[in-house]
Structure 1
């Protein structure tokens, strides 16, 4: 069979809303077929099902799945949870206990499944903090685990802002090829598109008044920032230049106030939600979920049907599709040669 007609089977673990899958599908086209998906958050599952039509159900808690029950696959996609290693979290690492699960060790389920199935390649994404957590020991354990089951591991920190989206978001990307695959030629992509700005991802039409902050809330933010500045901390709201770039949108969808905009297109200032005070007249607003989707490289065809609260959380937890696609193209070059 010619290499250009091989269809690679993939599984999508800790799938979230499918950002990693989307990047690989854009890079591999019709030559990738997802055969298994696991995601335990019910709202993420809803968004995933809206956008990917599979003929199988999404599996829930991966720790309870027997590796023998997963179909054979060639590519493992795994954005294992970042909260245990995030600078924004408590950074408990392998001791992180959350709802009875140890999130820091969920990567071990990736190892368990891949040791049994022996896929050609394993792809993981995580927060930059993973590289220096516990003085680098955590990352070393993860790398060693893949090496021990027969993989050659490559890793690099890349910034989303270098790949066509205006978001300053550094993440660690791990690519592990099975040892019998000649992978020495693999290299991570170089970012070459860092000219986009917030203005490029803004909604084309004026957005709902519900995204505009109230005068009372703005005053609260100003006081909050002043308190932190007095203590020498850098916390607080931030209004971004439309010609500049956004800060990283974060896990859980928190920190929307770190990426405020000034948008003076609003004409009707009558509130549509219960607010204290009145809608500010300075044009200060939050970004919309669609703007967050664009910051993460999701196409406008990607359906957003849930309430805003869920969508902010989902995009904050997701990946930048542009970066994933660029790495996936480099992975494909190695696989096609093989």
Structure 2
């Protein structure tokens, strides 16, 4: 740009003769140009031109940078696993992510999120004003599964009222982002005879999104855990990529076990290893209410006291018979999975002259309990004191220090908050519980993610409800492929 300036009504005018553009500068603006600290020409017009080009270049840089920036929100964020997977996918695609809003209410999860991301996610999404949520491109959410009271009626947005998914849907409706990544438990697919799943998909489509869904297992994405979950991705205004034909990678438990952490030596593990070699424990469940080759019972290791071979045989038969539906009619109750049987009933399938003494001894040692049958009242089982007492197996799978010993050559079962602390891993000199860091590795969290500042019970509780990071990365890449094609 070249030209001159002239005084007119207290303003300065700069014109370009080739491209007629007039810039009006007041006295203070003219002073700013002339006093600029940048190394500029002495001619005023040239100074203006150079400053304009500097500004345009900076604006171009910012626009180019912003064109690669993806803004997203992280709802029901928990430990931030969906965010981590989505960010990994962004980097893979040469994009830059920026989380502009996150939300959760669980104290332990909030502590972990703050510790890793240095962001406070404390927010009840059911109470937030949607207008206060910054604009964003993608919504991430691992929303809880709830039944829809009106499911099966309109099968759309209105059917979701009163659920946490409704809050997700409202945000999508009002903010109209480009797309979303959602994760939920596998059971959502068949929840309420499939109505819940149908309402969710129909609602997302009603809101203008092309939707792809798939149940995927973490063990197919390089994790040493079998964890099936349902994943949803959606994109507005363009058919979203499907969730088929992912490249599979695999690992096993020994790939993540820290063998430098020693075994746990307790009365329980001592009794267990008195009767079994460590290798013989691989894949074994330790519980008293089921039979089968893969189960170890408390009487097999004498944890409550040694018993005779005859008593062991009695317990094995009683395990099966107490589930036999014919006894429910004779007792006068609705069938339940494990009913107390009277001595008379037991004698019909196990005849022994000392049966009474054997049963009393098993009660005294704690392998059996002498109790009333239970009636089903509402959703509860209540003892019926009008009926005869019978003998029943005492303890279930969570009654012992360990509920299962995992095989190092296999993947772990699905980790859930209720029993993750009861899972044992074999190490050089015995067995011990999974560590928190091993648990994080089973979900694919990065090496620098730690939960050691939480109580162990808190850490495993939030772990049992988190997501498989590599699966989130894989499904997010499909979503971002759709975005980049449109771009």
User: TM-score, structure 1 length as denominator?
Assistant: 0.79
The residue number in structure 2 matching 1:245 is 411
The residue number in structure 2 matching 1:74 is 137
The Cα shift of 1:111 comes to: 0.3
Of 69, 89, 96, 1:31 maps to 96
The Cα shift of 1:187 comes to: 2.3
The Cα shift of 1:6 comes to: 2.1
SS at 1:35's partner residue? Answer: strand
More relative contact order in 1 or in 2 (CA 8 Å, sep 6+)? Answer: 1
In 2: Cα distance, 1:148 partner to 1:70 partner:
22
CA RMSD of aligned residues (A): 3.0
SS at 2:404's partner residue? Answer: coil
1:256-303 CA-partner distances (Å, limit 9, x unpaired): 2674222234xxxxxxxxxxxxxxxxx232211111111100112102
SS at 2:108's partner residue? Answer: helix
SS at 2:203's partner residue? Answer: helix
The residue number in structure 1 matching 2:118 is 53
SS at 2:444's partner residue? Answer: coil
In 2: Cα distance, 1:288 partner to 1:224 partner:
28
SS at 2:409's partner residue? Answer: coil
In 1: Cα distance, 2:96 partner to 2:111 partner:
26
The residue number in structure 2 matching 1:7 is 69
The answer to whether structure 1 residue 291 and structure 2 residue 438 are counterparts is yes
The residue number in structure 1 matching 2:224 is 166
In 2: Cα distance, 1:103 partner to 1:215 partner:
50
Q: Is the Cα–Cα contact under 8 Å of residues 136 and 177 in structure 2 kept in the other structure?
A: yes
The Cα shift of 1:144 comes to: 1.2
**Higher CA-based Rg:** 2
The Cα shift of 1:249 comes to: 0.5
Q: Is the Cα–Cα contact under 8 Å of residues 263 and 427 in structure 2 kept in the other structure?
A: no
Question: In the comparison of the two structures, how many residue pairs are matched?
Answer: 298
Q: Is the Cα–Cα contact under 8 Å of residues 436 and 460 in structure 2 kept in the other structure?
A: yes
Of 231, 239, 244, 1:183 maps to 239
User: CA 1:78–1:284 in structure 2 vs 1: closer, same or farther (change >3 Å)?
Assistant: same
In 1: Cα distance, 2:97 partner to 2:174 partner:
21
In 2: Cα distance, 1:205 partner to 1:213 partner:
22
In 1: Cα distance, 2:116 partner to 2:483 partner:
27
SS at 1:223's partner residue? Answer: coil
Q: Is the Cα–Cα contact under 8 Å of residues 78 and 109 in structure 2 kept in the other structure?
A: yes
Q: Is the Cα–Cα contact under 8 Å of residues 19 and 320 in structure 1 kept in the other structure?
A: yes
The residue number in structure 1 matching 2:261 is 206
In 2: Cα distance, 1:69 partner to 1:217 partner:
59
In 1: Cα distance, 2:66 partner to 2:105 partner:
35
- Which stretches of structure 1, 4 residues or longer, exceed 6 Å deviation after superposition? 216-220
SS at 1:291's partner residue? Answer: helix
The answer to whether structure 1 residue 63 and structure 2 residue 129 are counterparts is no
Summarize the alignment of residues 1-338 of structure 1 with structure 2, pairs less than 5 Å apart: 5-29=67-91, 31-54=96-119, 57-82=120-145, 84=146, 93-94=147-148, 105-178=163-236, 180=237, 182-184=238-240, 186-188=241-243, 190-207=245-262, 209=264, 214-215=268-269, 221-225=286-290, 230=320, 231=323, 236=397, 237-250=403-416, 253-256=417-420, 259-265=423-429, 283-304=430-451, 305-338=453-486
SS at 2:215's partner residue? Answer: strand
1:218-241 CA-partner distances (Å, limit 9, x unpaired): 7994435558964497x7433221
In 2: Cα distance, 1:71 partner to 1:25 partner:
19
The Cα shift of 1:194 comes to: 4.0
The Cα shift of 1:41 comes to: 0.7
User: TM-score, structure 2 length as denominator?
Assistant: 0.56
In 1: Cα distance, 2:243 partner to 2:465 partner:
23
Q: Is the Cα–Cα contact under 8 Å of residues 5 and 31 in structure 1 kept in the other structure?
A: no
